[in-house]
Amino acid sequence: MGGRRAGSGGSRANAGVLKERANMSFMLVVMFFAVFGLIVLTEIFLIDERRGVSVGGTGVLGGHRSGHRLPAAPDRPDYGEVGAEDYAGLKGSFDEHVGLLVRGEDGGQKTAIHPDPRGLPSLPPSLEARLPQLDQNLKVTHAEWLPVTNTRFKFFVYSAYFDDRVSGAGSPAAAKSLGVVRVISATKTRGPERVWCRLWYRQQNGANVTASVTVAAKVKVIRENWNLKYSACFVICPLPKESPTADKVPEAVSVVARLRAAPTNRILVQNRLESRTNDKEALAVCVKPLHYYYNRLHRLLGATHVTLYNDTVGAAAGCALKYYESKDLVTVLPWHHLDMISQREIRTEGLFAALNDCLYRSMYKYEYVALVDLDEYIIPRHNDTIIDLLRWMGNRINIKSTGAFSFQNAFFYLQWADDPFVVTSRTPTEAGLITLRKTRRRTKLHPHKQRSKYICKPQDVVEAGNHFVWEFIPGHGTLNVPSDAAILHHYRVCEFGGDDCIKTQSTVDRTAYKYKDRLAASVDRTWTELRAECSLPELDPVPVLTPRIKVSPLGKSVEVEVEEEEVEVEVEEEEEKEDDKEEEEDHNTSSRIDTLADESRMSLRRRR
């Protein structure tokens, strides 16, 4: 009996402890919601008080120089807390931060204005007339990094393009406008600062005077930025329906952070309607900011033009690039003055700004654009040129809605030994061609969107990425090209350092040898022409045949001479094997493309 009573007493004690814990938990929950509610109420009731306080400023108009950050004003809220009071101050004359005229010196209301003028299609003409006029001596640029002054963080602008496509705006206001002006820029990745676009229209009377319209801009950060502090971005300027002149598209644009400050950049608006042509060239190549040189293989692959961005190149490479520029084969654009540290503040010299600038720059000049690095080449397996490949695919499947063609990456590691047939080269320039020397590649290809590169129809693309397109205009997408039709040849050292990469399974791929004679002759001719003019270095001689070493029965090494005829026989045997292999691959590729065609037809039936 005593044991039972003790047990029941223990149970009551445990129940009491559990009840106390439950009550305590309930009280903690109540306290949490009480504190949370108090914070919310405080924010609601104090917001009017905060807005009623005039926002002071430093009174400095200069901002930063060369993109360096200025210390923030001590009484200025963080960017996330900036409200309409930053755009319509209560002081007389111009507001210290934005310069928007809302009251006169006597405090009387001068102009009725929306609480936040950024909600307007453009500033009213009465306010526009009070803004600083354009300095006609300010240089008009089309490809140059220039700072936006009076910002807290680095902000640079490079080029500007008129975009009137269906998707092109990226903002609701664009649906009511004639399109947008898209400015290639670079600024803070998270919470970019708000800026304005001052659109400059040329007067019809030919006078050296411009009329202006000012609109609020939207900053759209370009993806694939590694979450670094700064990123490439688009500054999107919606065009109002009504313009001050008969010309609906502005001649130039200035991006400003403070309306009261005079513009310090004046960027030519490209891709205007009158500059577009229906007679496009076939293929252009876009290369990210470079430190190296131009390769003529792209020319043999069907490219008619290559756009390069010169960050830092040596004197010899620069001399050679000028030679190609004189023949209109290459456009070299400056990429200096972007005051952001590569890989620490911004991704790889701001490469996404370069890729998208080249995309828009080529949009109405070329039917296709390939976005690759200098050590990469898209090599068709069976067709001679890339254009031949794309047209061959277009004859077999419906590519009307295809905005980009993706090609899988194959690493040709430079640590692997040179191809033995390099000893048959006729000249040192031929022996030095990387596509002929390095023929061993990694057997396993990377999947699409990983290390892959692409060729796109620029008019179908809104935002270009490094390995794939981030955004198309509606109704378009990517076609993954079968690896037996074409792959990306990527010539580089092991991507993670060291030499372990050459231990991976590999195979010999001599597809690029079909360009051997034409490429060698072209490079040799150009090298001879530029050797003295550009002070080009001496090339290594053609490698000699390595003697075969055999061991005699007596254990002594005996050198056996190798005749050149033996190598020629080996080359012929290898070529016969390659021909047989290509015939088999031709059949397999046709089957793969036919399968894609069937899938495309089924997809169209489902849509119907």
Q: Give the pairing of strands 156-163 and 267-270.
A: parallel
pLDDT of res. 96: 40
pLDDT of res. 350: 93
pLDDT of res. 589: 60
Tokens linked to 436: 């002929």
pLDDT of res. 579: 56
Nearest to 510 by CA among 566, 451, 568, 441: 441
Find how far residue 571's CA is from the centre of its chain: 43
Integer Cα distance of 107 and 96 in angstroms = 16
113 near 89, Cβ under 8 Å? no
As a 3-state breakdown, the chain gives helix, strand, coil percent values, each rounded to 5, of 30, 25, 45
Nearest to 97 by CA among 108, 106, 89, 105: 89
Domain boundaries, the chain: 117-275, 281-533
Q: Give the pairing of strands 486-492 and 409-413.
A: parallel
**DSSP-derived secondary structure letter, 543:** P
Dmax over CA atoms of the chain, in Å, equals 115
335 near 145, Cβ under 8 Å? yes
Strands across the sheet containing 409-413: 376-380, 486-492, 409-413
pLDDT of res. 519: 93
Which residues 6+ apart lie within 8 Å of 525 measured at CB? none
Classify burial at 44, counting beta carbons within 10 Å of its beta carbon; exposed 0-12, middle 13-18, buried 19 or more: exposed
Nearest to 168 by CA among 459, 462, 460, 403: 462
The pTM for the full model equals 0.75
Q: Which helix (H) or strand (E) holds 530?
A: helix 516-530
How does pLDDT run across 95-146, given as a tens digit for each residue?
343 334 333 334 444 444 455 666 677 888 889 999 999 998 999 999 999 9
Tokens linked to 303: 């490219």
- For the chain, list residues with pLDDT below 70: 1-13, 40-119, 167-177, 205-209, 291-296, 546-608
Identify the bridge partners of residue 409 per DSSP, sorted by sequence position: 488
**DSSP-derived secondary structure letter, 84:** G
- Dihedrals φ, ψ of 335, to 5°? -130, 25
Crossing angle of helices 516-530 and 315-326, rounded to 10°? 110
Count of residues making up the chain: 608
pLDDT of res. 20: 81
Residue ranges of alpha helices (H) inside 381-440 are 386-396, 428-431, 434-437
Integer Cα distance of 174 and 166 in angstroms = 10
Q: Which CATH topology does 281-533 take?
A: Spore Coat Polysaccharide Biosynthesis Protein SpsA; Chain A (3.90.550)
